[in-house]
Amino acid sequence: MKNEIAEYHELLNSEDQLICEKLYDVISTALPQAENKIWHRHPVWFLDGNPIVGYHKLKDSVRLLFWSGQSFDEEGLAPEGSFKAAEKRYSDVKEVKVTELKRWLKKAQDIQWDYKNIVKNKGKLNRLK
C-alpha cells in the first residue's frame, strides 16, 4: 500500500479503516494493472489515466464510487451525480460483499466512459469500451 493511502486510512476511525482496507485489498487484487493514488484527497484507481473506482469517507459511511457505474446495469449501485457515476455506501465492513465487488470491478474494466478528456470534450462523455 502506498504511504499516501496508508496515511488516508490512518485518519479514519477503526470501523471505517476496516472498510477501506477491505476495499483497498479487493480493488488492488482485481485491478493489478491500475495506477492508484490519492486524487482530490481520496484513493482512486486509474486505467490509462482514466478514473475507474475510488472510495472516500462521508459523514455517516464510506462511499465506493465507480465513475462509469451507471452503465453496469447492477442492482446495489445507486446513481451519483449528473454523469455516469454510481455508488455504494458502507457503514460496516460486513456489508462489503467480495463477490459482488469483484463483479463490479470486472465491469469497471470493460465499461468505461472517457472522464480523462471530459474538459477537452467540453463536458461530453464518450464511451471508451
> pLDDT by residue (tens digit) across 81-109?
878 999 999 999 999 999 999 999 999 99
Domains along the chain? 3-110 (3.90.1150.200)
Confidence (pTM): 0.90
> Using one digit for the tens of pLDDT, what is the confidence trace for 7-21?
999 999 999 999 999
Check residue 129 and give its pLDDT: 65
pLDDT band at 123; cut points 50, 70, 90? confident
Give the model's pLDDT for residue 122: 72
Angle at 34 between CA 44 and CA 115, to 5 degrees: 60
pLDDT digit string (tens) for 23-70? 999 999 999 999 999 999 999 999 999 999 999 999 999 999 999 999
What would the mean pLDDT of 100-125 be, rounded to a whole number? Answer: 83
Tell me the range of 22-31, 107-116, 117-126 where mean pLDDT is highest: 22-31
